[in-house]
Structure 1
Amino acid sequence: MNIEAVREHFPILHQEINGHPLVYLDSAASSQKPRSVIDAVSRYYEQDHSNVHRGVHTLGSRATDAYEGAREKVAKFLNAAAPEEIIFTRGTTTALNLVASSYARSVCKEGDEIVITPMEHHANLIPWQQAAKATGATLKYIPLQPDGTISLADVEATVTANTKVVAVTYVSNVLGGVNPIKEITSIAHRNGAVMVVDGAQSTPHKKVDVQDIDCDFYALSGHKMCGPTGIGALYGKKALLSNMEPIEFGGEMIDTVDLYESTWKDIPYRFEGGTPIIAGAVGLGAAIDFLEQIGMDEIDQHEKRLAAYAYDRLSTIDGVTIYGPKENRVGLITFNVDDIHPHDVSTVLDAEGIAIRAGHHCCQPLMRWLNVSSTARASFYLYNTEEEIDRLVDGLLKTKEFFGYAIG
């Protein structure tokens, strides 16, 4: 992969921050956008904007074709069996809430179990807390190994015949490790449970095949994979989606409406009430085109090289603690510098033009498991370079020096 050619597609990267060339190491929070995505959204608003599905005029037809074309691109990108298995949402959070509110609350009862892990983002934790409270089901956690990985033996011991839902992140947004999702799915299915995958941190970085994984639901966010904010998708097996009730009601999702009763459209439309996120879907489709042009395997290998390089370089700095496994990780390094608050680390780095994330990363239970209140996180994507990691290392050494620590 020609990294300099890739970087030319991202206009935001060609600027200075605080007098230094920007080093953007916060793609796990939100990736930057290539020119083709920006142009696709602008072109839609300038030439094709109309509401979808409702009108028979030319603009309405163009907008509908663009919107449904984006659905087909997402389906192909995930290897879904059919486009109607793709529900457009505001993002991973909305997608997971849809499954927890519509599916889980309809199938779970007292005595049933919902199984998750302590590493989950709040978006894949709180919805299941609420579903458990609403139904009387028990919320159970697969324990983590000391390095933050998941043991399949622990999965086998936690998932039982009473388990109705297993919901696990494919890639931890803190630990960076890639979880054995296909194997966990198999265990869930052997026990009669459905498998829900939080794909927010996996979809941008590696090739995903939902039919090969055999998961029942898979959620993603467009803004983490070069697409616009406010757009995401839920994949669900057709047999499951067809028996789920919508949780938002209004225009677009109805078949017939009488004064006291209404009926719903078939999937996917019953779950897309109101005017949908048309421009976002167009932008997501353009982002998929861009990623596929480069190649997901190329992106995966590039990030693995960066992660290994960053892990080795940060490991040479005295007082730096790195969290998560060394092997089998995506381009993400979460760390702390002894006695320096992550917010202070981030502030000093920002003065050097380096953007990282600091805080609990919407993973407070995982922070408690790590025995920290917060961490710093540097996350890499297809446009990052080893030279930028060198800049990060130099910035961390300056941070230590600024706070009075010996350089090492």
Structure 2
Amino acid sequence: MQIERYNEGISLKRSVDSGTDEQRKTVQGIISEVRKDGDAALFSYTERFDGVKLTDLRVTQEELNAGLAALSEEHIAVIREAAENIQSFHQKQQRNSWITTDDMGTMLGQKITPLDAVGVYVPGGTAAYPSSVLMNVMPALVAGVKRIVMVSPPGKDGKLAPVVLAAAKIAGVTEIYTVGGAQAIAALAYGTDSIDKVDKIVGPGNIYVALAKREVFGDVSIDMIAGPSEIAVLADKTANAAEVAADLLSQAEHDAFACSVLVTTSMELAEGVSQEVHKQLELLPRKEIAEQSIRNFGRIIVCANMSEALLAVNELAPEHLEILTENPMEAMAKIRHAGAIFLGRFSPEPVGDYFAGPNHVLPTNGTARFASPLNVDDFQKKSSIIMYSEKAFRANSEKIASFARLEGLEAHARAIEARK
């Protein structure tokens, strides 16, 4: 891996594929066709892109049960425990409606209402991600969403992977459709004969899914436009080079555009990690992908001291941040920008990916400067409650009318004065 010295002028931002004009036009065409032809377009695109000819999109209860039955008791127990951990964590995020009153009889408040319907996109086809099912579904359930719709592209057999169906069954999802890509996003946003539209779409996908979510935003809400995965490791001389290298590679194997960065105060650790990365790469089943990721987006940044290292990490604003220092809590207090923070050598990033409970749907490509992990708030909306008593109205009416006229809105002022 490339080792470099940190300076404040260094650019740590990477270039991320935001789609070509041709890809955007393709997505726009797919969305238009789905809006026009509905299910017929879904069947056509599924045959064209997934190589599968389907006659029905909806997954049956029998298929859900079969997916669960295909797993070992050990794997079922692990998924159940992970679901419970995720549910427990997100229950602590719940907000309550509230109302306050004052001595003039004014009542103000906030009403929390879950969204009516949410669509969850789960990547599929050649891969299976039960963790994506749990991480997107459990906070929606905790929020009180009544209708959760899952979509995922079929494998070559025309079905979803048993492990994905098992996770959906454990999470309690009953409305599932075998359709993926931009066409699935269009169906969730605008509806077809088979799939009723939803209010919000969440979940990761390829560039076509990301572009489709961008296109439909405004007609529906979305969680985020997620880029390739990334990890930063903040480490001092106390860190273990082999462990740090393994953690960097855990992200590099995601895809060729994943980003893995070590920020350290120790040149000795930097050199050790560089050697370990290349040694461990040779043993990885996904060596080709990880090697390309490390070559293009892997970096080791050596800083003069911890203050400089913290500046570098906050500039990166990474999706995942591991802190492997002598006093990780002290360093964590100075982190302003990170999607998820993992403290100490026994909290590597995969602990959060699968099991601990916090959500693994995280802001990428520096957006942790202003964005948060997927959470219960994403599946609820807030309504303000306002009730003035006559006493409060009369005490404030002249001020309100004056403010309205300050903005040149005479009818607003008269709506107040009509009650005087």
After TM superposition, is the score higher than 0.5?
no
TM-score, L = length of structure 1: 0.23
- Higher radius of gyration, 1 or 2: 2
